[in-house]
Amino acid sequence: MHRRQLGTSGLEVSAIGLGCMGLSLAYGPPMDRGAAIELIRAAHDLGVTFFDTAEAYGENEELLGEAVAPFREEVVVATKFGWKDGNLRTGTLDSTPERIRLVAEQSLRRLRTDRIDLFYQHRVDPQVPIEEVAGAVQDLIQKGKVKHFGLSEAGVQTIRRAHAVQPVAALQSEYSMFSRDPEAEILPTLEELGIGFVPFSPLGKGFLTGKIDVGTTFAEGDIRNTLPRFEAEARVTNHRIATAVTGIAARKGVPPAQVALAWLLAQKPWIVPIPGTSKLGRLRENVGGADVELSADDLREIAGMLSSLQVQGERYAPQGMKMVDR
């Protein structure tokens, strides 16, 4: 797989990474540990060099650390801090410098590594000035425990303030044909500052694969059971977008997921999506998205489709939307 630079930070990664959260959390029962490790190693065999986890993803860091141990020097490992006690379910943030330092030490141990390649603030903590957050990560960088600083779901002003203290290598936020909010202000700001962009949920949490329709049910514990975009009425509207993508993919002779990922890659050369999956077949399919080229006509057709079909429903329930920095 070809590689991309995340902005001007010098951080080079595979054009498509692997989001590991779903192996342990949020999409039904956790995957069998051995099978998850095999999947991560299969991703590496397919050319993936960029792996994303977080303190808050249960045992995900330990799993990833074990999986990449045989080839640690060949990959970039990203993890995150920012939730009180590392627990997403509390809905409480904690990005105090003391907590950041503690999480770094714990993550290093769980990941079986001597440095964190990319250390993100998972969500912006309104109780802690972003300058203090950036300063704490800067200290970890100076000590060699962290290589690069990242933000997640941060707004323009937060990005600028953080970047002024410690250069931000990458912003991770939701971006796909289903979630285009970053296009208005975020992408121009990242381009100006030389910051890379890492879209999570680049397949619209599965919707853009063409495999989800009005009658699809999800397992107990699957986050999609709580998301407004997956409610019955919204699904009727949103399925039209998936259907349109499926039509474009059929004409090109590729799976819909590959069109969705190729579209993201075509937006900017410093965008690196991190689709997640628990299935080897889907992994191969996602990785293949890096080889799909969309013509100017394809991109115009997609742009026209997206302008005429509006996504219905918020990305998260109200409490989750409160955690998104504006």
Q: Which helix (H) or strand (E) holds 235?
A: helix 232-252
Q: For residue 313, tell me if it sits in a domain.
A: no
- List the catalytic residue out of 27, 57, 120, 175: 57
What count of other Cβ atoms lies within 10 Å of the Cβ of residue 287?
A: 24
Give the pLDDT band of residue 322 (cuts 50, 70, 90). Answer: confident
Share of the chain above pLDDT 90, in %: 88
Residue 154 near residue 112, CB atoms below 8 Å = no
Tally of domains within the chain: 1
Residue 111 near residue 85, CB atoms below 8 Å = no
Q: For residue 211, tell me if it sits in a domain.
A: no
pLDDT of amino acid 242: 92
Is pLDDT of 277 > 90? yes
Question: What is the CATH number for 118?
Answer: 3.20.20.100
pLDDT tens by residue, 142-160? 999 999 999 999 999 999 9
Q: Which amino acid is at 290?
A: A
Is 175 an active-site residue? no
pLDDT tens by residue, 160-202? 999 999 999 999 999 999 999 999 999 999 999 999 999 999 9
Q: For residue 120, tell me if it sits in a domain.
A: yes
**Nearest 5°: phi and psi at 184?**
-70, -50
Which of 207, 271, 292 lies closest to 7 in space, CA to CA? 271
Q: For residue 78, tell me if it sits in a domain.
A: yes
- Would the pTM of this model clear 0.85, i.e. be above it? yes
Average pLDDT over residues 119-129: 97
pLDDT tens by residue, 233-272? 999 989 999 999 999 999 999 999 999 999 999 999 999 9
Q: For residue 245, tell me if it sits in a domain.
A: no
Q: If DSSP codes are grouped into helix, strand and coil, which group holds residue 52?
A: strand
Q: For residue 303, tell me if it sits in a domain.
A: no
Cα 42 to Cα 67: distance, rounded to the nearest angstrom: 10
Q: For residue 114, tell me if it sits in a domain.
A: yes
Own/partner pairs, 67-75, CB within 8 angstroms, 24+ separation: 67/36, 67/37, 67/40, 67/41, 68/40, 68/41, 68/44, 69/112, 70/41, 71/44, 72/112, 72/113, 74/44, 74/49, 75/44, 75/48, 75/49, 75/50, 75/51
pLDDT of amino acid 316: 86
Give the pLDDT band of residue 17 (cuts 50, 70, 90). Answer: very high
Domain containing 19 equals 3-205+263-292
Q: For residue 250, tell me if it sits in a domain.
A: no
User: Where is pLDDT greater, at 182 or 323?
Assistant: 182
